[in-house]
Every structure is written in structure tokens, then in C-alpha cells.
Amino acid sequence: MATYSVDVERRDYFRVDVALPVAYWRETDHVQPKLDLMPVNISGSGMRLVAERPLAVGDKVSLRIGLPSGVVPAQAKVVRVQGQPEKGSSVSMQFTAIGNHDQERLLEYMFAA
């Protein structure tokens, strides 16, 4: 008897790989870095990026995401870190606070990408 593996998508939003200007910092840093163009995997509920600064699971992060329609501010929580910090870790974040209008702008950008 043959067995099959089915990959079920459990996310609420689709994801897009794009390069966007992004700034991120720990809420405890009290420093707001400039926007840097970087490749990200983004959805309406979070994003993944390669972090140049060390972050840990559970860290609360402030974000600024540059879109053609303007900057989207958001708050997020680090939910996964893969790789070694000195080489750049792949960091997955879940948005914990993003305005409805800003989330709509983000989704519109993703549909157009």
C-alpha cells in the first residue's frame, strides 16, 4: 500500500520573498536604526530576515518596514532563530502590534509583488 505525505499550509496569510528597506531593534535598545534594504520573507502576520545583530526567541522587536506607500511601523516577537549569530541568523518574527491600515497596505504590496 502506498503512503502519501501532504503538506498542509497552516498560516493565515500567504508569504512573499522580497527585498525591502527594514529597520529592527529590540524594544530595550531604545535606538532606532536607519532603514536598510534586505531580503525578507513577509506575510500579513510576520516576517523572516537575516539578522545582523543577535536576537533570541522571546525578544520583543520594533520594526519599520519601507513600502512604496510609506513606512509601516510594527511590533513583533521573535519566535524562531536558526543559524549562528556571527554569520547572520535567520530570525522569524510574529507581529504583535500592527495597525489595521498598515496591515492592509502591507497586504496590498504583497499582492502586487
Per-residue confidence of the chain (113 residues) as pLDDT tens digits?
444 333 334 446 778 999 999 999 998 887 788 999 999 999 999 999 999 888 999 999 999 999 999 999 999 999 999 987 667 889 999 999 999 999 999 999 988 87
Is position 31 within any domain?
Answer: yes
Distance CA 110, CA 71 (A): 14
What CATH number corresponds to the domain at position 49? 2.40.10.220
For residue 96, is it within any domain?
yes
Whether residue 7 is contained in a domain is answered as: no
Is position 6 within any domain?
no
Instruction: Assess if residue 5 is contained within a domain.
Output: no
Show the domain range for 104: 16-112
Please state the domain count of the chain: 1
28 inside domain: yes
Give pTM, 2 decimals: 0.83
Does residue 68 fall inside a structural domain?
A: yes
Is residue 9 in some structural domain? Answer: no
